[in-house]
Structure 1
Amino acid sequence: MPVASERFAHHVVSTRYESLPGDPIEHAKVFILDSLGVGISGSTADGAEPLLRAASRWGSGEEALVWGTGRRAPATTAALVNAFQIHCQEFDCVHEGAVLHPMATLLPAALAYAERAGGISGRELLVAVATGVDVSTTLGVASKAPLVFFRPATAGGFGAAAAVGRLAGLSERQMVHGFGIQYAQTSGTMQPHVEGSVVLPMQVAFNARAAVQSCDMVAAGIPGPIDTFEGPFGYMRVMEGQWDLEPGLTKLGREWQISQVSHKPFPSGRAGNGLIEGMMRFIAERPFAKDAIESIVVSGPPLINRLCARPDLPAPNGNYARLCAAFIGAKVLQNDRIGLEHYRGEELTDARTHELARLFSMQVDDNPDPNALVPHEVVIRAKDGAEWRWLCEAMLASPSRRLSREQHLAKFRTCCTFAAKPLANATVDRLIAAVDGLETMTDVRDLVAILADQ
């Protein structure tokens, strides 16, 4: 029986565009555009400019574009910085079952490689996205343990390596070695999450850069370990602890995980999106006045508490605030919405926000699944004893509650307004049209050229 790395490699290398059903192709295009938009907006987020400045010391060259900036860099640097920009605002798409953001590592690595290599078609990019997402999310869904290592970085890196290896034309055996070299570079724990550190999205960036490096090393003839995932010191045993890969492996080529990816309709950790929707529903219904609220309690699975039950701080950084339910909820209560701008500058220290944050608390229910995000309930109590309740059984923009095309494009257009180097409306329109017709593009450098035309 082939080991998991060999089964993954066969799937990545043998899949042909013609064998992909329409649904995964369309969803690949949706989340390519979404990830480009979020990455563009990240060019003005905290940490983006210092990271690019630091990375400029590690080599020179103009192989690939740093999105939203007009600047070019070596492919490895572009993969690093663009991956950071995608994940640094918690606005990137997510596979809820796997508890990871598969496109944050994959797309920056794949596009950076494609720019450097040239001649890679839109069809090949779509296959690389679909198969790479299958690799990372299959690893994530297989886990039966709570997060210890940061899965969007660790498992996400294998998906990125798969995508780059596919574009590089690696053989199945070379792809197996590529996974082994990627594992040697794999990094990322939950400690930066606990502390609200800017290093959290950098962990995604490190693994995206490693994906390009891993495939370059394989192409140069360097072999890697074989039993990367299930070996005695393999990824699943060391970084996940409890797992069952077989169900996911048997689905390869039959069920496409890109079709199970969710948008982030709101810029916060996915665990906070239900609270945001609940608050917006409450505000729309207004069963009692905002100033009559005594408490707001979110009750749900252990994971959402682990991810966003942190205490409010009087002067948090944006990374901490995006994963703090009290801060998130207070901003919605204060503004009737929440946007990227609410995690920047004076918004982070606004006294009224932190006053309202005292209303919020979180409770753990009896859900035994350590990776479940739903169901959870928002309960708002008034000072006179009245209550308003809302049960989130499926997150907004999950596969069962998808965003409309209009909502998807509205998010993309909004993200583009946060670019470090502004994009003209006509450029944004051209980007949308190019991704819509990606299967007809003979060289994806044409897509990046539109983005560079600022």
Structure 2
Amino acid sequence: MDAIRHFSNHVLDVRLKDLPDIVVTSAKTFVLDSIGVGIAGSTGQWAPELAACAPAWGTGEDARVFGRAGRYPDALAALMNAYQIHNCEFDCLHEKAVVHAMTAVLPAALATAERLGGVAGPQLLEAVIAGVDIACAIGLGGTRPMKFFRPGVAGGFGATAAAGKLLGFDAATLQNAFGTTFAQSCGSMQAHEEGTMLLALQVGFNTRNALHACALAAKGLRAPQEVLEGRFGYYALFEDGSDLGPVVESFGKVWRIAELAQKPFPSGRATHGALEAIAGLMARHAFGADDVETVLIRLTPVARTLVGRLPRDDMAANYARLCMAYCAARMLGGGRLDMEDFTAQALADGKSRHLASRVKIEALDTASTDAFAPAEVEIALKDGRTLSQTVAHILGHPLKPLPREAHLEKFRRNCRLSATPLSPVAAEQMIAAVDELERVPDVGILMDLAAASS
């Protein structure tokens, strides 16, 4: 029996009344965080170009897009929202799975809820929690470093789970939806290798495809059933090794949404441990960029592979967000890393480029099973001092969560970056609505607040 049957049954079994409070609280935290990041992404790199393409891809009134006016077909709105959540590298993720689960799951759930109308908060929470479990389970089932872009491919499965749950699918229909999602799966790491915005678009493509898969399954399309473990199933084609036993065994016992990490910086998560170490050293020892001779950063092998790229004179924002040397230089220059550090002006700053050229990245020899920690930083200062710090658990990790005020300030700052201005009142109303999400009668209110009026 293919494990996809266990996945489908788990989705159907998720009920809000059975969930621990920490799971519901985590879900609300990451719903708000993801909406805020998606709003900021409306002005992110390549968002205007994507919005300009949208009218040619279909018209409809199903759903809306963060920070934008107008209505779109549900699958197109889901694509755009998923892209906007991921295009600034500010979205939460499951570190061990290496999956940005909410990035696909939430847009699929919101678009489906808008099309259906009258979806209550508890239904949305159940769908999101189930979808995150599935996306993370797909990633956790792989035992080797990813060769396809797992956030996109695994996200598509999670998006299917969330939409299928809201649509009231039975297990057989959901399995057909999973099979049809698998047939459309895409996500090449070549986009990461070359630093193109197609990386984030791949999350959007899989999210859109999940809604198309659900529509086909609802009409009775029979899809392949051996989706995960078949001869040509997911793990045979997309991963170099797998072990699904522990993943299946964890269903109903471990809730992956409570394991997500929240990002304090708009850059690849693999940069965050070193950035936190640099910020800590600067705060304790009162030095600045002009005092720095060289910087040595040691990252886990996975992290070094993801962000060890060399700085370039022609860096685009998406390349720079995944360039440890550049991110370190900007942190040293201002004591923080924010959206402004990836503007054209910041990227052209000669001082930052020069400092980035003196940052060396090495791989740690570590037995840690965490993809992104520990991270070690050693800074040699011009006065002869050498400062060092190791970060074992990165800020935003479940063991070191972002404080609520920092979480809310991140959301408010992101709202101020909307393509179409959103009022501060709307931001506060969104915070209140998400805080009370299990009592909200119609989650359409979230898009009323997050999308600009037509």
**Bin for the TM-score computed over the shorter chain:** over 0.9
User: What is the 5 A alignment of 1:209-224?
Assistant: 209-224=208-223
For residue 442 of structure 1, what is the aligned residue in structure 2? 441
On the 8 A contact 1:91/1:267 being kept in 2, the answer is: yes
Cα distance in structure 2, aligned partners of 1:398 and 1:160: 23
Partner SS for 2:71: strand
Structure 2 residue 282 is matched with structure 1 residue 283:
yes
For residue 65 of structure 2, what is the aligned residue in structure 1? 66
Letter in 1 for 2:326: F
CA shift for structure 1 position 369: 6.3
Cα distance in structure 1, aligned partners of 2:76 and 2:399: 37
Q: Which runs of 5 or more structure 1 residues have no equivalent in the other structure? A: none
CA shift for structure 1 position 73: 1.1
Partner SS for 1:401: coil
User: What is the 5 A alignment of 1:106-145?
Assistant: 106-145=105-144
User: What is the 5 A alignment of 1:349-364?
Assistant: 349-364=348-363
CA shift for structure 1 position 452: 3.3
Cα distance in structure 2, aligned partners of 1:199 and 1:303: 21
Structure 1 residues 289 and 56, CA, compared in 2 at 3 Å: closer, same or farther? closer
Q: 1:74-125: per-residue Cα shift (whole Å, max 9, x none)? A: 1111001110000000000010111110001111111011101112111011
On the 8 A contact 2:35/2:450 being kept in 1, the answer is: no
The worse-fitting range, judged by mean Cα deviation, of 57-66 and 33-42 is 57-66
Structure 2 residue 155 is matched with structure 1 residue 147:
no
Q: 1:142-186: per-residue Cα shift (whole Å, max 9, x none)? A: 211112100100111101110000001110011111111000010
For residue 207 of structure 2, what is the aligned residue in structure 1? 208
For residue 244 of structure 1, what is the aligned residue in structure 2? 243
On the 8 A contact 1:94/1:262 being kept in 2, the answer is: yes
Partner SS for 1:266: coil
CA shift for structure 1 position 55: 2.2
Structure 2 residue 290 is matched with structure 1 residue 313:
no
For residue 29 of structure 1, what is the aligned residue in structure 2? 28
CA shift for structure 1 position 370: 7.8
Partner SS for 1:255: coil
On the 8 A contact 2:288/2:332 being kept in 1, the answer is: no
For residue 402 of structure 1, what is the aligned residue in structure 2? 401
Partner SS for 2:64: strand
Structure 2 residue 103 is matched with structure 1 residue 98:
no
On the 8 A contact 2:68/2:419 being kept in 1, the answer is: yes
Partner SS for 1:297: strand
For residue 451 of structure 1, what is the aligned residue in structure 2? 450
Q: 1:226-270: per-residue Cα shift (whole Å, max 9, x none)? A: 111111111112111211111011110111010000100111000
User: What is the 5 A alignment of 1:246-285?
Assistant: 246-285=245-284
Cα distance in structure 1, aligned partners of 2:71 and 2:354: 44
For residue 337 of structure 2, what is the aligned residue in structure 1? 338
Partner SS for 1:363: strand
On the 8 A contact 1:144/1:370 being kept in 2, the answer is: no
Letter in 2 for 1:416: C
> Structure 1 runs of 4+ off > 3 angstroms?
287-290, 368-371
Q: How many residues align?
A: 453
Q: 1:418-451: per-residue Cα shift (whole Å, max 9, x none)? A: 0001111110011111111111112211221222
Cα distance in structure 2, aligned partners of 1:156 and 1:247: 20
Cα distance in structure 1, aligned partners of 2:96 and 2:288: 37
On the 8 A contact 2:288/2:333 being kept in 1, the answer is: no
Letter in 1 for 2:70: R
Structure 2 residue 292 is matched with structure 1 residue 293:
yes
Letter in 2 for 1:381: A
Cα distance in structure 2, aligned partners of 1:262 and 1:369: 17
> TM-score, length-normalised on structure 2?
0.97
Partner SS for 2:37: helix
CA shift for structure 1 position 367: 2.8
For residue 172 of structure 1, what is the aligned residue in structure 2? 171
CA shift for structure 1 position 287: 5.9
Structure 1 residues 303 and 370, CA, compared in 2 at 3 Å: closer, same or farther? farther
Q: 1:188-244: per-residue Cα shift (whole Å, max 9, x none)? A: 011111111011000000001011111011001111111111111111121112111
Structure 1 residues 34 and 41, CA, compared in 2 at 3 Å: closer, same or farther? same
On the 8 A contact 1:145/1:371 being kept in 2, the answer is: no
For residue 230 of structure 1, what is the aligned residue in structure 2? 229
CA shift for structure 1 position 382: 2.2
On the 8 A contact 1:303/1:371 being kept in 2, the answer is: no
For residue 156 of structure 2, what is the aligned residue in structure 1? 157
For residue 38 of structure 2, what is the aligned residue in structure 1? 39
Q: Could you say what the CA RMSD is over the residues aligned between the two structures, in angstroms?
A: 1.4
Letter in 2 for 1:122: G
